[in-house]
Amino acid sequence: MREASVGAAALLLLPLAIGDYWSYQLSLYFLYAIAALGIGLCWGRGGFLPLGQATFFGLSAYLSGLALIAFEGSAWLVLLLPLAALASGLLAYGIGVLVFRARGESGPYFSMITLALSLLAYQVANSWDSVTGGFNGLKGIPGLPGLDGFTAAYYVAAVALLSSLAFTSWLLAAPLGVLWGALAQNERRAVLFGFNTNQLKAVAFGVSGLLAGLGGALYAPQQGLVTPQLCGFLLSADLVVWTAVGGRTRVLGPVIGALAIGALSSELRARVQFWEVLIALLFIAVVLRLPQGIVGLLAPLERRLGRRRHRGQGLEAPPHLEPRQAPRLVVDATSAHVGEVHILDRLSLELDRPGIYCIIGPNGAGKTSTFNLLTGELAASLGRVLLDGVDLTGLAPHRIARLGVGRKLQIPTVFPELTIADNLSIALWSGRATRMDLLRPRLKRWSNPILAELRQRYGFLDDTERKAAELSHGESQILELTMALVAEPRLLLLDEPCAGLSPEETAGVIDVIRWASRRLGATIVVIEHDMSLVKELADTVYVLHNGTRLARGSVAEIQADPTVRAVYVGGEK
């Protein structure tokens, strides 16, 4: 915090040192830097790259320009300019909701859409003379009332930049920021914890739109002219490049990039003929040599300054938002297929009372597919899945998870780049944190008895600041199991929880599962091949074959069942 305030003070005193021209020069790049901040947030944290941020910069610039002209000198502008920025934020959010809901993924397609939007915006701005002033732009925009001269412009921009920086760092530190990082690393895992990742990504994009909008809204009064280029591809590309060169993974990166490259290029522009070559070489060099960007160079320094985050006193996590009682799950003659291949064929299960159920069956019998069906990741073509009478078919996976359905995947999936603490926090927030909660840093201090008791068993969980990526295969299995348990689901699906574990570790896990089923009073469903484990675990066993149910009963009954013997012989370690 102290460094921050020092930096802020320095920024505000700077004009005295550098004089009018440089103040003016910087004040423009401050605005670009604000827009770049948004890209850093989406790209560096959220894992998706917006390629058309100029769309929002330009839109707000036009809006605020029109407002300034219409209400010259009026006090209303104090309200109107923020609205101009907000408009972009909302537009971006809206686009985000639509696109992410339809596409879900964060790959180049999203980037392409935003790119196309900025090309479109450019043409509209260019052709719609009556409103935008066409190619020549919207001219004669008055400055902000009472603020003229280069230094005033500088202070407006500087204050805007500082507040944007503060706002962004606050967001990234908040649980919301942690979740953005999490979904960038493993979106599915986040969904299975009941987070609407598409929503979260849309919010991130909305924030980036808001920041771009703020930059644009202030551009109009600063420059007095708004031209179509502001919406165009070239500015969009510049913003991305600045972000990349500055370093997208840290808040300051985009700012440094925008200021350094921006100022550098406008200095070279007049002096060196082939200045663009130098700039291009710089991009390439940085991308190849410094993946972390320029701020990456500061990393060692950071480490020296960097103190460990103090999470402070643990807080008792609140109860779940949805009521929790022992579930009653009925899968009623449900079928599903991928392409033309039938995966589930009129499968029926009744998990009517708490306890441990094991699902066994030959490979390809549809065990994991059954789990996918229950978590809403596999669409049913026929039949219903009822959880306490609520039909789950057609519900989004995150909604189902919110109803108290937890899952541990076959291959251990945690959030590798997050600390153990953050991994556990995310599990604790699952189904407990409201939208507003996600902005409250104190959520990071949440804990609950289950976690405390599991920490007793597994010491490595106390090494809170360790990255999950550094864990061994076995440890990450345990971490994911722990995460699944501390979320306190009513219905917990465990897909081969002992895969790749030694007999020693396996014994431990079996014990934990038995303990959890009592402790949580939950229904636990386990997919397991190893009959010896099934014997230890199962109250009831389901045998699946070719996507349908072959038998149901106690271990003894199953082993006695001739039809089961016919297709299935349990192996032993």
Pairing of strands 382-387, 405-408: unpaired
Shortest Å distance, C-beta 47 to another protein: 9
Report the candidate in 462, 518, 441 with the shortest Cα–Cα distance to residue 485.
518
Report in angstroms how near the CB of residue 258 gets to another protein at its nearest.
14
- Pick the closer one to another protein by CB: 76 or 135: 135
In this structure, what token pair is assigned to residue 149? Answer: 């001269």
How many angstroms separate the CA atoms of 141 and 73, rounded?
11
The Cα 214–Cα 223 span in angstroms is 14
Instruction: Output the 3-class SS for 466-483.
Output: CEHHHCCHHHHHHHHHHH
How far apart CA 40 and CA 432 sit, in angstroms, is 29
Dist CA 173 CA 206 (whole Å): 18
| Beta strand segments in 304-411, E | 315-316, 329-338, 341-351, 355-360, 382-387, 390-391, 405-408
Rounded Cα distance, 317 and 434, in Å: 12
State the minimum distance, in angstroms, from the CB of residue 44 to another protein. Answer: 10
Spatial neighbors of 538 by CB under 8 A, at least 6 apart, are: 356, 357, 358, 526, 554, 555
Tokens in use for 64?
A: 């605020």
Closest CA to 177 of 201, 154, 193: 201
Sheet holding 329-338, edge to edge: 341-351, 329-338, 382-387, 390-391
**DSSP characters over 179-248:** HHHHHHH-HHHHHHTT--HHHHHHHHHHHHHHHHHHHHHHHHHHHS-B-GGGGSHHHHHHHHHHHHHH-T
Residue closer to another protein, measured from CB, 438 or 501:
501
Nearest distance from C-beta of residue 425 to another protein, angstroms: 26
Instruction: Report the C-alpha dihedral over residues 33, 38, 40, 42, rounded to 10 degrees.
Output: -170
- Cβ of residue 567: shortest distance to another protein, in angstroms? 8
CB of 321 to another protein, least distance (A): 32
Minimum CB distance to another protein smaller for 103 or for 518: 103
Of 289 and 310, the one with the shorter C-beta distance to another protein is 289
Minimum distance, C-beta of residue 20 to another protein, in the bound complex (Å): 5
Task: In angstroms, give the least distance from the CB of 192 to another protein.
Answer: 17
Residue 327 or residue 508: which is nearer to another protein going by CB?
508
Nearest residue to 45 via CA among 169, 144, 131, 226: 169
- Closest to another protein by CB, 182 or 365: 365
Nearer to another protein, 4 or 18 (CB): 18
Give min distance, CB of 312 to another protein, in A: 33
Closest to another protein by CB, 10 vs 18, is 18
At closest approach, how far in Å is the CB of 422 from another protein?
23
Buried residues in 488-506 as b, exposed as e (16+ CB within 10 A): bbbbbbbbbbbbebeeebb
Q: Which residues contact 501 (CB under 8 A, 6 or more apart)?
A: 474, 477, 509
Rg, the chain, Cα only: 28
**Beta carbon nearer to another protein, 378 or 387:** 378
Residue whose CB is less far from another protein, 175 or 232: 232
The distance of closest approach from Cβ of residue 339 to another protein in the complex, given in angstroms and rounded to an integer, is: 7
In the complex, the smallest distance separating the C-beta of residue 2 from another protein, rounded to whole angstroms, is 34
- Which tokens hold the place of 490? 């009513």
Instruction: Work out whether the CA dihedral 380, 382, 386, 392 comes out positive or negative.
Output: positive
For another protein, the closer of residues 3 and 340 by Cβ is: 340
In the bound state with another protein, the residue whose beta carbon lies nearer, of 402 and 407, is 407
Q: How far apart are CA 96 and CA 110, in angstroms?
A: 9
Q: Which residues pair with 226 in a beta bridge?
A: 138
